């Protein structure tokens, strides 16, 4: 065993895992350890926020924390080393392996152990899969002078061609008699020489998207990441306003006096009263999901106003029922049960559109999503197999779901696989709305505020407790007739809750 191999085995590196299938990055919210702290296998060392939820990460090693590679609030790509652990602190002081040393040690370990490569072993998530991308050798271009072997390799890693030889200097032109507009600066040789041989800049998909959003050309960025990879920090640095250096040999532009008009009294710059917050985490995921849903599934929304006086009386009675002791009983619970009963009467509603296979997937289970407002934004966890649960079971799971969401501890698995959703806008005093479907689901029911209103009851106008329901559905899956019947049945159950027994 070589010295570098032993050093790499002593200092174990933990990479950001994929805590939810398909995620590409996560933000470090909080570190629970610091360099010098002792950690054990399975101990939680940090909390990260993905596009779906906040997740605590346990370390799979015993030892002493050697280094934290990123601070709190930093977004890190999946597969990036975030912490290193000294697994043999009693062996005396030693330097952690460098990037080059780590690669050599890894190569030596591979030769000695000949173990198959795979995802990194982690305690949470799917780990980081090794890259299998390979590049073909590039054909020499006619007319391009030969370069040392190291030059094209470095240029390839940097995502641009090697610079062309500098042309001979040209004599400076005589001073013009009148002001002349400076000529446009010449295009750098790095972007023109051998255009056909210029490789695509090396950057991960999230970094490419960030550069596109900021209007930055990746080919103009000097990478600082390992192996010539462009990082998020490189893109942000390129986007930061900076004075462009003047090109050697180019004429200096003539200074032009700028007259600034005096600000009118009482007028304040609007930018001084604005705040810009990066779009990330749950907010970013919500925005992407809502845009995808709104422009993919053709939405139809229908409304119905219903007298729920009997349902509100039943809520009060259930609160005194011994079978519901210790459980949270509220109108949302009975709305959820009414929705489930209506779906059982119209099972064709519970479906999904498979665009890739051009199929409709009918589901014999109901995973009921509950839209929850949390400090981090809107999330939609769901109750698995809600259609087969009793009222006490549904109340218990609904209470646990809401409490976990408010604490920010909802797992990605709890938000996956939903089939239909309820959003309770009534808690904000709103009568109703036109809810947007959760991607992959067929319908979403909005429950509005319950208010005392004049209502014709038994032939007379009386004060009754009334609410408005709104049902949005995917018109590819649900025709107007089916959607109308579903909404009418929900309203019928809430108007006469004894139908929970006769229809259930």
The catalytic residue positions are 475
74, 185, 209, 235 from 275: Cα distances, Å: 19, 36, 23, 21
Listing from the earlier edge strand, what are the strands of the sheet with 38-39? 11-15, 81-86, 63-68, 38-39
Q: Is 36 left (phi over 0), alpha (psi -120 to 50) or beta?
A: left
DSSP assignment string, 239-268: HS--PPPPPTTSPPPPP---PPPPPPTT--
368-370 and 420-423: which strand pairing?
A: parallel
Going by C-alpha positions, the residue among 400, 414, 408 that lies closest to residue 30 is 408
| Residues 452 and 308 sit within 8 Å (Cβ to Cβ) | no
| Residues 80 and 56 sit within 8 Å (Cβ to Cβ) | no
Phi, psi (5° rounding) for residue 301? Answer: -125, 130
C-alpha–C-alpha distance, residues 126 and 276, integer Å: 33
342, 386, 405, 494 from 398: Cα distances, Å: 19, 10, 11, 19
Over 48-98, what HEC string results?
EECCCCEEEEECCCCEEEEEECCCCCCEEECCCEEEEEECCHHHCCCCCCC
| 3-state secondary structure (DSSP) of residue 272 | helix
């Amino acid at each position: 065993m070589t010295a570098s191999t032993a050093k790499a085995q002593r200092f174990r590196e933990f990479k950001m895992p994929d805590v939810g299938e398909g995620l590409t990055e996560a933000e470090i919210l909080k570190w629970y350890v610091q360099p010098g702290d002792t950690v054990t296998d399975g101990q939680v060392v940090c909390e990260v926020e993905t596009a779906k939820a906040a997740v605590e990460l346990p370390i799979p090693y015993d030892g002493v924390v050697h280094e934290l590679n990123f601070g709190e609030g930093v977004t890190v790509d999946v597969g990036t080393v975030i912490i290193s652990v000294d697994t043999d602190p009693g062996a005396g002081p030693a330097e952690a392996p460098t990037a080059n040393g780590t690669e050599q040690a890894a190569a030596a370990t591979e030769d000695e152990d000949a173990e198959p490569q795979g995802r990194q072993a982690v305690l949470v998530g799917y780990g980081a899969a090794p890259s299998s991308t390979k590049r073909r050798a590039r054909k020499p271009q006619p007319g391009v002078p030969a370069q040392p072997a190291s030059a094209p390799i470095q240029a390839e890693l940097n995502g641009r061609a090697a610079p062309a030889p500098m042309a001979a200097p040209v004599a400076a032109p005589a001073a013009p008699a009148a002001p002349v507009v400076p000529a446009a600066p010449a295009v750098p040789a790095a972007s023109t020489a051998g255009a056909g041989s210029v490789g695509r800049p090396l950057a991960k998909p999230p970094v490419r998207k960030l550069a596109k959003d900021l209007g930055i050309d990746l080919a103009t960025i000097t990478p600082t990441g390992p192996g010539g990879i462009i990082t998020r920090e490189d893109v942000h640095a390129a986007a930061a306003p900076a004075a462009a250096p003047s090109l050697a040999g180019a004429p200096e532009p003539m200074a032009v006096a700028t007259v600034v008009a005096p600000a009118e009294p009482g007028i304040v710059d609007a930018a001084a009263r604005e705040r810009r917050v990066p779009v990330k985490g749950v907010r970013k995921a919500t925005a992407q999901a809502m845009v995808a849903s709104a422009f993919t599934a053709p939405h139809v929304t229908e409304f119905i106003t219903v007298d729920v006086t009997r349902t509100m009386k039943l809520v009060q009675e259930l609160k005194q029922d011994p079978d519901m002791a210790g459980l949270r009983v509220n109108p949302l619970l009975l709305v959820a049960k009414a929705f489930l009963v209506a779906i059982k009467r119209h099972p064709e509603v519970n479906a999904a559109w498979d665009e890739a296979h051009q199929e409709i997937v009918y589901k014999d289970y109901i995973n009921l999503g509950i839209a929850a407002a949390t400090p981090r934004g809107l999330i939609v966890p769901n109750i698995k197999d809600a259609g087969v649960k009793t009222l006490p079971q549904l109340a218990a799971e609904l209470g646990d779901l809401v409490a976990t969401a408010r604490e920010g501890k909802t797992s990605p698995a709890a938000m996956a696989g939903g089939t239909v959703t309820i959003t309770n806008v009534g808690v904000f005093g709103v009568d109703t709305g036109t809810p947007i479907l959760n991607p992959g689901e067929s319908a979403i029911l909005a429950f509005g505020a319950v208010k005392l209103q004049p209502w014709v009851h038994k032939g007379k106008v009386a004060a009754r407790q009334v609410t408005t329901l709104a049902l949005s559905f995917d018109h590819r899956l649900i025709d107007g007739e089916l959607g109308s019947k579903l909404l009418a049945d929900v309203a019928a159950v809430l108007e006469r809750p004894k139908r929970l027994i006769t229809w259930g």
